[in-house]
Each structure stands twice: as C-alpha cells, then as structure tokens.
A and B are shown apart, each in its own frame.
Chain A
C-alpha cells in the first residue's frame, strides 16, 4: 500500500492525529530553536489543512466517510460478535463535518502564520504553539467524531486549550480573570453535556450518534430525552455565545491575543456545529423539530439584536468586535433555525433548505471576515499598545495595508455587495422572509447597525490627524490578513465556488439524518 493510499484510507484519523502529535512534539522541537519550531508548527498546520481539503473532496466524491478506530478493515462498523452494536469509536464525516473541519484548520493555519511575528519576543512560546495546535485538534475532533462521548472529550480539549490561550498575555491579571470565567463556564457546560450523555447512554445503551438516533426513533421520545436534549441544546448555545448566555464572550474574546480571538470565534462555531448536529441528526427524527427550530430562531433574533446594540456602547475595539460576533452568530442560528422549523414539511424545499444554506454559508463568511477583523484589531494593538478606541486615531497614515484590510472586513460584515457577507445575508433575508417577514426586517436592521458601528471604529482608529508615529505591521501578519481578504473577495465575486463544493453538501448532509444513520448502521429506521 503506497503512502497516498494510506493517507486516503486513514484521512479522518490523521486529521486528528497529525495536529495532536504535532502539539506534543512542539515543546521538544522548540529546544532546537524558534525558527525550527515555527517551520514545524506551520508544516503541521498546512498538512492538517491539506487533510481537511482531502476530506471535503472525499465526501463530495464518495459520500459520507466512516472510520472505525481499531476496526479491521477501518470501515467495519458492526463487528460480527457485537450483537449489532457499534462498540468502537467511530468517526463519521459528512458534508457538514468536512465543512467545519475545513474552516477550523484554515483559521488555525492563518493564526499560525500571524503569530510568527505577533508573538515574537514573548515568553513560553513553545507552550503557546502547542496549545494553538491542541485548539485545532479540539475543533477538528468535534467536527469529525460520530461518537457522543468522544464529542465531549474534544469539547473539553477545545475549552481547556482555549482558556489557557486567553490567559496567555496576562495583562495585569485581566486576561487571567477572563480565562477563569471562560474556563468555569465551559467546564460546567461540558459537565452538563456529560450528564446528558450519561442519560442517553442509560436509556439507549449506545454512544454512537446514529445508534442513539435510531433507537430513540424506535422507542419514541421520552421525558428523559427531553431533559437530555434541553441540557445539550442550552449548553451548546451557551458555548457558541448566543444571547442570553453570552456574558463570557466579550471578556474571553476581548482579552485574548488577536489571532487567538479569531480562533476562539471559530471554536465557538464548532460548538454551533455540535448544536446543529445534535438538533438534526440525533434528535431530528424523534423530537418536535418545529418548536426546536423556533427556539433557535428566537435565540438568533435575540443574539443579533442585543449583540449589535451592546456593541455600540463599547470603546474597547476587541470587546466591540466580540459583541459583533454574538450578533453574527444570530444570523447562523436564524438561517439554520428556519431550516429546522420547516424540516419535513413542503416549506422545507420551498425556502427552508435555502435558509439553511444561507446560515451555513454565513458560518464560512463569518470565519473569514470576523477572523480578518480580529487580526486587524490585533495588528492595531500590536503597534499602538492600547485597545481603547478613544486613544487611537490617524492610523491610516502609517498602517495603510491594515487600514485596507480592515475596510474589506468591515464592508463584508456589513453586507456590502462586492464582498462575501452580502451573498449569505441576501440568502438569509430572501428565505426567512417567507416564514415570517418580521425575521427578515430584524436581520436587515441589524445589518445596518453593524455597518454604522464599524464605520465608527474606522473613523476613530484610522481617520483624523496622525497621532502615532508607527510603522506598518510585520510581513507575516500582513500575509495572514491578506489570505483572509483574498477569500472574502473571491467568495464575494464567485459565491458559486463555495456554494457548490462546501455549503450545499453541508446543508444537504444536515437535512438528511436518515442518510447519516443508514450509512453508519447499514440498516436504519
């Protein structure tokens, strides 16, 4: 068997194993010098990115990929002596998983490139890069796994490494305070998910998502299922930063270094993926998807509106952007919530699927422009040394590229036509309008408020007389911002590239729980 065959057969496992081993080897390699370690970290991240792209290709070409750890062959889900139960840990990669894995590894790679210069000269960088790789592992694992307990483990890896990275710049204790808050909130949330997993295990004697969904469908939706569902849905909504459980977001995003804010933002999108996976695949067949969908829609509306209005009050650039990510999460919840509310009815084919595609496209776009905005905020703080908007001004004189990148990100997040935010927002407006016109009205108003808020930031940070005699940021930071800007423009002008290869397969995979279960178990309901 050649190396290429080996990579193709084991791609889902390698996508976790490569960054995991890479993370633990980083402190060791760092002893050979910073340059060697950076080459190592960046090549591990690039290889992970390649594996994620390979997974997208495999899923688009051959359908859902199933990988059984320790299975011989690795596609043997139900061994003959297991009485019909998938006993091993199984990775199930469908369109949505591959999509989430791709955005996770992309932001990891971009953050890696960015931190080459932005963290230069700081202490404990070997641990910093090890934790950065572990955060990628956590996100990728949450996306790829088909086992509910495994999901919990990766959620914990994700939370722990993210909390440690938030506290990386101690900042007079403020960053540690934010990290403490983040860690406590994540841990209690993860414990509630573990509680729900124990309930589901006690009821259905299985940990595989497909098996649980099938048995739940056969025995009907019980009271214990409602408790488990409430625990899981509320916790994951909290982890993805939806109002009213958003209080940790501004602290956590605000105190982390710029590239880490971008990564944690994507880590909360991985929780959003978990929320969608649970709602559609695990509970979708048995629960009342109409009310569950409306629950997501209401969370989305609250997040959109409260996020953007709170952002107006902020004078700290990172906290302001953090409130905007709460607001953007609302769009995704709204889009996919409309899909969930109409699942199984004739309305789903009329506009529900389109709304889901809009919501999922918005996840990709948000990763690009929100990541870019956090990186520009990091660049400003890197040069100016303060995150207070009132103390900034006139930066466009000396930091021209950063100003241009900021403007691209700000126009994209506001949904101005040549950029990608316009496409997904238009898709959301057009489809949710048909469920209830009020939803589209709120979404459009929030979009305008977002534009106003980012123009305010542009004005106070970049315009005006020259206050600081600073240079442009180093090349590696510009390259990282340039990569994201390139894709923003690309997906704004040619949205069909992303739609065909990433978004549509993801939406179809989420909307088809029966296909998922049938692929894993071979029989299905």
Chain B
C-alpha cells in the first residue's frame, strides 16, 4: 500500500492546485495553484520511473545494481524549466496588472467585461 503513496499524493496535490486556481481571489495565489499542479505532475513523472532500491542512472563508477529510469527524470527537468518560464511570465503579468489596476483581486480585475 505504501507503494502507491506517491500517486495518492499526486492526486491530492492536483486537487489542491485546482482548488487554489478556481476559488482563490488573488492572482498571485492563482499562479501558486498552477505551480502546485505542475509540481504534482513532476512528482508523478519521477515516481513513474522509480525502481525499488535503485540508484541514480550514471554509468561511470557505478557500484552496480538496479538503476531508476533516466527518461522520466529528463522529462521532469524539461518540465521544471518550462514551469519556471511560465511562472516568471505570469508573475510579471501580475506586476503589470497591479500597476494599472491597483489591485490583484479577481473580482475587480474585470475591465474586459465592461
């Protein structure tokens, strides 16, 4: 049962992240929610490649034995880099919105609807 713990925490994190994105009213908290979902997906990919008692997949001076899968780790690294870019852009949008609207409250950031 303990073996499924990573996958259960992935689901919990996704739900937390989506909750924050939908119900929080501060735009920065929306960005934080997005980051939580992203961490959940990264955790999912890393735990997919986990092998019990595995070591890091580096062949040079390897002591032998099972290794964890390298591909999901490569995917996760790429995803982290993309995530940093996304967060940076979203937060700079937040700065601009605050500069022009004077607030980050989603109920007041609604000039498009007028």
Contact = CB atoms under 8 A, between A and B. Distances in A.
A172 B109 CA distance: 12
A179 B85 CA distance: 15
A361 to B, nearest CB: 34
Nearest to B94: A180
A209 to B, nearest CB: 16
A149 B78 CA distance: 10
A183 B112 CA distance: 16
A156 B86 CA distance: 9
B96 interface: yes
B100 A170 contact: yes
A153 B78 CA distance: 8
Contact of B112 (A163, A198, A255): A255
B82 A188 contact: no
Interface string B13-55: 0000010010000010011001001100100110010000000
Given A172-B100, A177-B97, A183 B75 contact: no
A255 B71 CA distance: 40
Contacts of A164: 89
A173 interface: yes
B111 A187 contact: no
A187 to B, nearest CB: 5
A207 B75 CA distance: 10
Nearest to A161: B89
B111 A172 contact: yes
Contacts of B31: 184
Interface in B95-114: 96-97, 99-101, 109-112
Given A164-B89, A180-B27, A202 B48 contact: yes
Given A183-B86, A201-B72, A251 B93 contact: no
A191 interface: yes
Interface string A174-188: 101111100110011
A198 B41 contact: yes
Nearest to A203: B48
Contacts of B67: none
A173 B48 contact: no
A149 B48 CA distance: 15
B67 to A, nearest CB: 15
A194 interface: yes
Contacts of B89: 160, 163-164, 183
A195 interface: yes
A167 interface: yes
Contact of A198 (B48, B86, B110): B48
B35 to A, nearest CB: 10
B60 to A, nearest CB: 18
Interface string B64-89: 00000001100100110010011001
B93 to A, nearest CB: 4
Nearest to A250: B112
Contacts of A251: 112
Contacts of B44: 195, 198
Interface in A185-228: 187-188, 191, 194-195, 197-198, 201-202, 207
Contacts of B109: 177
B93 A179 contact: yes
B78 A177 contact: no
Given A156-B86, A188-B34, A170 B96 contact: yes
Contact of A167 (B21, B37, B75, B96): B96
A195 B79 CA distance: 11
A176 B86 contact: no
A197 B82 CA distance: 16
A187 B90 CA distance: 10
Nearest to A87: B71
B96 A178 contact: no
Contacts of B34: 184, 187-188, 191
A267 B68 CA distance: 37
Given A173-B100, A195-B41, A201-B72, A160 B85 contact: yes
Contacts of A156: 82, 85-86
Given A172-B111, A173-B101, A177-B112, A183 B93 contact: yes
Contacts of B111: 172-174, 177
B97 A194 contact: no
Contact of B86 (A153, A187, A195): A187
B10 to A, nearest CB: 9
B3 to A, nearest CB: 14
Interface string A125-164: 0000000000000000000000001000100100010011
A20 to B, nearest CB: 15
Nearest to A255: B112
A176 B111 CA distance: 11
Interface string A246-272: 000001001100000000000000000
A191 B101 contact: no
A362 B39 CA distance: 39
A251 B111 CA distance: 11
A165 B79 CA distance: 22
Considering residues A172, A180, A184, A254, which has the most beta carbons from chain B within 10 angstroms of its beta carbon?
A: A180
18 contacts: A156-B85, A160-B86, A173-B99, A173-B100, A176-B96, A176-B100, A177-B97, A177-B101, A178-B112, A180-B94, A187-B90, A191-B41, A194-B45, A198-B75, A201-B48, A201-B75, A202-B48, A207-B71
Top-10 shortest CB links A-B: A173-B100, A180-B93, A202-B48, A176-B96, A198-B45, A156-B82, A187-B86, A174-B111, A195-B41, A194-B41
Given A170-B100, A191-B41, A201-B71, 16 more contacts: A153-B78, A160-B89, A173-B99, A173-B101, A174-B112, A177-B109, A183-B86, A183-B89, A183-B90, A184-B90, A188-B21, A191-B38, A198-B44, A198-B75, A251-B112, A255-B112
